[in-house]
Amino acid sequence: MHRLFAKQIARATDATGKVDIDQLAALVGGAYDEFDRDRRRTDRSMSLMIEEIDGKNRNLQQLVAERTCELQARERDLQAQNVRFDIAINNMTQGLLLYDSSAGLIVCNERYLAMYGLSREVVKPGLSLRDLVLHRKEMGTFRGDVDEYLAAVMHGVAIGTTSEILTETPDGRSILIVNKPVVGGGWVATHEDVTERRRSEERIRHLAHYDALTDLPNRALFHERLREELARIAPGDQLAVLYIDVDEFKTVNDTLGHLVGDELLKAVGSSLRGCTKSCEFVARLGGDEFAIVKARVKTPADVAHLVARVLKSIRVPFDCLGHRVTTDASIGVAMAPEHGADLDQILKNADLAMYAAKSAGRRTWRFFEPEMDARVKARRNLEIDLRQAIADGALDIHYQPCVNLHDDGITGCEALVRWRHPERGMISPAEFIPIAEETGLINELGEWVLTKACTEAMTWPENIKLAVNVSPVQFRSGSLALKVIAALAASRLPASRLELEITEAVLIRDDDTALAILHQLRGIGVKIALDDFGTGYSSLSYLQRFPFDKIKIDRCFINDIAEPEGSSCIVKAVVNIAAARHMVTIAEGVETLRQHELLRSLGCEEMQGYLFSPAVPAAQIRQLLHSTLDDKAVA
Amino acid sequence: MHSQQMIWNSQAGWTPSAVNPEEVSLVFYFGPREMLACGKRYRELREMFPAAHLLGCSTGGQINNSDVTDEEIVAAAISFRSTQLRLIRREINDPLQSRQCGEEIGRALIDDRLAGIFVLSDGLNVNGSELVNGLVDAIGPDIPLTGGLAGDGANFKETLVGGDCAPRPRLVVGIGFYGTAIKIGHGSAGGWDLFGPRRKVTRSAGNVLFELDGEPALDLYERYLGPEDSKGLPGSALLFPIEVHDPEQPDSSVMRTVLAVDRKSRSMTFAGDVPQGWTAQLMRGNFDRLAEGAADAARQARTSLQESGHDDQFSILVSCIGRRLLMGQRSTDETEAAGAELGSDTLRVGFYSYGEISPHAKSGICELHNQTMTVTSFTEVEA
């Protein structure tokens, strides 16, 4: 019997054992109802649950499908990114390796393999750094101790700092290896071929300290070396600094061209290097200036011997691009500590000594002397005074007449500048004109003379010409013709009455600008005279290059014209050449009647000199010209 | 310790007569609300046992050994040899005072010799979880705390509790057992089966559940109950209790049963907290496995007492009203299964409740349970 039914019977049975059928039926019926209800609930809940789980399942399936799509898209992105990453790392100019925290290779790019001629078969992910280096050693692309190299790399990685290692490969390349730790352990290594860069750096370093033309140390290195040597002069020792200036280098450059000039400098540099000892430091300071530092000088004789060697080596004729070039040098020597122990002082003193050697006529050498400094200072003072004098209009112009040798009539006057210094009295143009030329003051001075002389000439009789000297420096400015035109216009002096005297220096350089200016001047009617003819080079080619109106025969030929074996034949030759080219000749410095007579007999046309009149102030020449005119009128 | 059982019904009154009533120090009594509400039964007991603490409540059915009855009051009168008792009662007017109420009772009962507490509480106007938390706050996690929430059949209208007073609503009573002689064993188990998908508590406040997976909780229940059972809400919701757990601690799962529904807000009020963000899963009962659950609870209680080595025992069985509603006449399956474990010589009384109080079988921390069978066994050893 079912346990529940037994209970139901027990419950429906009273104390006498009688079963209440109605109660039993109610209990049994109730139980059936309960079972039915429970079954219905179970059915309902089961089907709902299945429905719900189905729904959840569908949602899940949809979610999985969406996630799968997302993952696929992400994978595609990742692949594209990987391709880009591969392209990027394989097109780097550096070799690249990525290691994990246990020094196992993760990534290696193509450039790395190419740098060391390695195979992808061997260098693959998982390969340890040690095995890679050992492999390279075997293949001959690693030089050095493997353990030491590994220790160096791992030390940097271990302490978490970026390390750089510069290695040399057996085939002579310089490779810079940078190991940089990355987050999460491991590191990235880049290998860069810095061979070219290092060579360039070396070249730049060399260029910074060496002269490109001669490959001698340059001024910077010279100063550096001199400073070092000055700091370690032993007691009792001296240090000599030689400043060497190649004589007439400018002339070589001007006449034979820059290429030959450069060859000459190279040859001189090479000779200097050849004639000096290892303790003597040779440098090129620039232009035609060289220098030597000689340490541990015991006696002046040590320096004299060095100078002798230098001069000897420079005086050897050099073959420069097929030209045999002979040159010489002016050398200044300053001693330290005797002439000063500081760098600037010793350099300045050597320079002064060199200029002293130049002033002494070149081809020689001089020790520095304190007076040299004084002379330079005096010259500088003179420059200051001259500048002031020009500004104040304190200069004066004197005029010397030029005379026709046939009738002794005045044909013109040469304007000559004069300077009366308030303290020193009259100063020779030979002293102040070079200063004016060096400083550029000549432009201002020349313009002033021209303007003032033109104005003055307008007070003279109309047949009297005006001769004005023009310095080669004035030709360099390029505005000379304009200034002449301006002076003529301002004074109203006809161009035909103006004669400009130039020296051969204007033409010595094959200067198209100067020639163009001369032609412009000639074009407006100004006459051009060649001054000081017969001195210097006096190349006849100048006469061909420009058709001068007049040639001035230098006074040195006139001085001895009356002497037996004198210069009369030279004067004659010049007169003949001039006549042939329709040029007038004028002789300078005529002081005697004898000279006067000779010149006339030789066919020279004009003269200038004390015999007739020295240069005199403007008022005086005006008086002279008008009295001469009056004389003529009387005659 | 000596225990004797008494029954009251309308035909016979209290039977059998008590033996040595003056020695009785504690009487438990459980009955239908209608039989207790007048206070007459209490006064009769008080007259019979003038020296005893009288502790009782209304129920959803009485357990009398293996029988389950609706038409009688069941009582057990206990005489202790040396165990002392202290009874504390507190009125509660607002469920929000539940924790405070628990704390007050705990503090009033705690002392060095406290060996255990049994609590009866109003079943409708108290947040049982908070009441237990308050008690545990005061007495700590190591003292056994068991008991239950009073019931009102399937009506959910009014529950009564009495503690040395006539049973009345809004009362919480705790009785403390003191001394080294008393030994208390306990066990708690459900035997319910999980079914259906796991759901997320997407909206809740305390013990009021609004939404599961974004859907009103009441909609879900009504769907599962069907039109017929839905009329019986909230009682019928007991057919489908839920198990809730913190998703971070899957072992901490507790069962929750419905106390009330609000058709307007589509919400359901449970006998304990249903925290937002926790995972919830519906449960359903199978007669056999529910009976096995009851046996399991009894086994736990017996095992913990056997460690003390004593046989003369008395047990209180507190089972959930939901189980009774589901099992109907088969409810005796579980009382029999528990009785088989506890032994036929152990006096067993108890009731169907709106919530069971017992330490968690796994964590050992006392909690409010729903839909479980909770067994508390007492014995006394030589002091």
If asked whether residues B224 and B241 sit together in one domain, one would say yes
Residue A479 counted as domain residue: yes
From B66, which residue of chain A is nearest by alpha-carbon distance?
A7
Within 8 A of A63 by CB-CB distance, chain B residues are: none
If asked whether residues A348 and A424 sit together in one domain, one would say no
Residue written as token pair 């003179």: A382
**Domain boundary, last residue among B266, B283, B300:** B283
CATH (domain of A467): 3.20.20.450
Q: CB–CB of B349/B151 below 8 Å?
A: no
Please state, as a whole number, how many other Cβ atoms lie within 10 Å of the Cβ of residue A547: 13
Q: Which pLDDT does position B163 carry in this prediction? A: 96
Residue A203 counted as domain residue: no
Residue of A23, A28, A52 for testing the chain B interface, max B β-carbons within 10 Å? A52
Sign of the alpha-carbon dihedral angle for A534, A537, A540, A541? negative
Q: What is the ipTM of this complex?
A: 0.79
* Chain A to chain B Cβ contacts (< 8 Å): 39
Residue A238 counted as domain residue: yes
Do A53 and B197 lie within an 8 Å CB cutoff? yes
**Domain boundary, last residue among A198, A223, A258:** A198
How many domains in chain A? 4
**A467 vs A393 pLDDT, higher one:** A467
Query: pLDDT of B41-83, one tens digit each?
Result: 999 999 999 999 999 999 999 999 999 999 999 999 999 999 9
In degrees and rounded to multiples of 5, residue A72 shows phi and psi of: -65, -40
If asked whether residues A440 and A564 sit together in one domain, one would say yes
Residue A42 contacts B where some CB pair is shorter than 8 Å? yes
DSSP string, A159-225: TT--EEEEEE-TTS-EEEEEEEE-TTS-EEEEEEE-HHHHHHHHHHHHHHHB-TTT-SB-HHHHHHH
**B252 vs A371 pLDDT, higher one:** A371
Do B196 and A52 lie within an 8 Å CB cutoff? yes
Do B329 and A34 lie within an 8 Å CB cutoff? yes
**Domain boundary, last residue among A340, A368, A396:** A368
Residue A576 counted as domain residue: yes
If asked whether residues B295 and B151 sit together in one domain, one would say yes
Question: Taking residues A171-176, what's their average pLDDT?
Answer: 91
CATH (domain of A310): 3.30.70.270
Residue A533 counted as domain residue: yes
Residue of A9, A28, A45, A56 for testing the chain B interface, max B β-carbons within 10 Å? A45
Measured CB to CB, residues of chain B less than 8 Å from chain A are 195-197, 223-226, 229, 239-240, 284, 326, 328-330, 332
Residue A27 contacts B where some CB pair is shorter than 8 Å? yes
Residue A181 counted as domain residue: yes
**Domain boundary, last residue among A60, A86, A112:** A86
From B67, which residue of chain A is nearest by alpha-carbon distance?
A7
CATH (domain of A109): 3.30.450.20
If asked whether residues B175 and B211 sit together in one domain, one would say no
What is the distance in angstroms between the Cα of B204 and the nearest Cα belonging to chain A? 22
If asked whether residues B71 and B170 sit together in one domain, one would say yes
Sign of the alpha-carbon dihedral angle for B306, B308, B312, B313? negative
If asked whether residues A131 and A214 sit together in one domain, one would say no
If asked whether residues A110 and A183 sit together in one domain, one would say yes
Residue A60 contacts B where some CB pair is shorter than 8 Å? no
Do A38 and B326 lie within an 8 Å CB cutoff? yes
Residue A292 counted as domain residue: yes
Q: Which pLDDT does position A250 carry in this prediction? A: 82
If asked whether residues A333 and A353 sit together in one domain, one would say yes
Query: pLDDT of A520-562, one tens digit each?
Result: 999 999 999 999 887 777 677 778 888 899 999 999 999 999 8
Residue of A38, A39, A53, A57 for testing the chain B interface, max B β-carbons within 10 Å? A38
From B333, which residue of chain A is nearest by alpha-carbon distance?
A4
If asked whether residues B67 and B184 sit together in one domain, one would say yes
If asked whether residues B258 and B370 sit together in one domain, one would say no
If asked whether residues B139 and B260 sit together in one domain, one would say no
Domain boundaries, position B225: 193-283
If asked whether residues A254 and A152 sit together in one domain, one would say no
Instruction: Find, among A303, B217, A17, A325, the residue nearest to A293 by Cα.
Output: A303
How many domains in chain B? 2
If asked whether residues B236 and B342 sit together in one domain, one would say no
Query: pLDDT of A577-601, one tens digit each?
Result: 999 999 999 999 999 999 999 999 9
If asked whether residues B263 and B338 sit together in one domain, one would say no
Question: Taking residues A208-224, what's their average pLDDT?
Answer: 93
Do B240 and A45 lie within an 8 Å CB cutoff? yes
Residue A8 contacts B where some CB pair is shorter than 8 Å? yes
From B239, which residue of chain A is nearest by alpha-carbon distance?
A41
Of A27, A45, A49, the CB nearest to B329: A27
Residue A241 has pLDDT above 90, yes or no: yes
**Rounded distance between C-alpha atoms, residue A179 and residue A6, angstroms:** 90
If asked whether residues A418 and A285 sit together in one domain, one would say no
From B325, which residue of chain A is nearest by alpha-carbon distance?
A34
If asked whether residues A561 and A501 sit together in one domain, one would say yes
Q: Which pLDDT does position B383 carry in this prediction? A: 58
Question: Taking residues B354-382, what's their average pLDDT?
Answer: 87
Of B197, B225, B326, the CB nearest to A52: B197
If asked whether residues B236 and B331 sit together in one domain, one would say no
B/e letters for A31-44, b = 16+ CB within 10 Å, e = fewer, are beebeeebeebeeb
Of B195, B197, B328, the CB nearest to A45: B195
If asked whether residues A272 and A412 sit together in one domain, one would say no
Tell me the pTM: 0.50
**Domain boundary, last residue among B238, B259, B283:** B283
If asked whether residues A416 and A468 sit together in one domain, one would say yes
If asked whether residues B160 and B276 sit together in one domain, one would say no
**B48 vs A509 pLDDT, higher one:** B48
Q: Which pLDDT does position A462 carry in this prediction? A: 93
Q: Which pLDDT does position A180 carry in this prediction? A: 95
Residue A495 counted as domain residue: yes
Query: pLDDT of B114-158, one tens digit each?
Result: 999 999 999 999 989 899 999 999 999 999 999 999 999 988 899
Q: How confident is the model at residue A634 (pLDDT cuts 50, 70, 90)?
A: low
If asked whether residues A37 and A117 sit together in one domain, one would say no
Q: How confident is the model at residue A515 (pLDDT cuts 50, 70, 90)?
A: confident
Q: How confident is the model at residue A184 (pLDDT cuts 50, 70, 90)?
A: confident
How far apart, in Å, are the Cα atoms of B295 and each of A157, B253, B254, B359?
Answer: 67, 20, 19, 17
Domain boundaries, position A74: 3-86
If asked whether residues B34 and B87 sit together in one domain, one would say yes
What type of residue is B259?
L
Do B197 and A56 lie within an 8 Å CB cutoff? yes
Residue A268 has pLDDT above 90, yes or no: yes
Q: How confident is the model at residue B224 (pLDDT cuts 50, 70, 90)?
A: confident
**Rounded distance between C-alpha atoms, residue B215 and residue B236, angstroms:** 20
Q: How confident is the model at residue A633 (pLDDT cuts 50, 70, 90)?
A: low
If asked whether residues A393 and A417 sit together in one domain, one would say yes
Q: Give the whole-number percent of chain A exceeding pLDDT 70.
A: 98
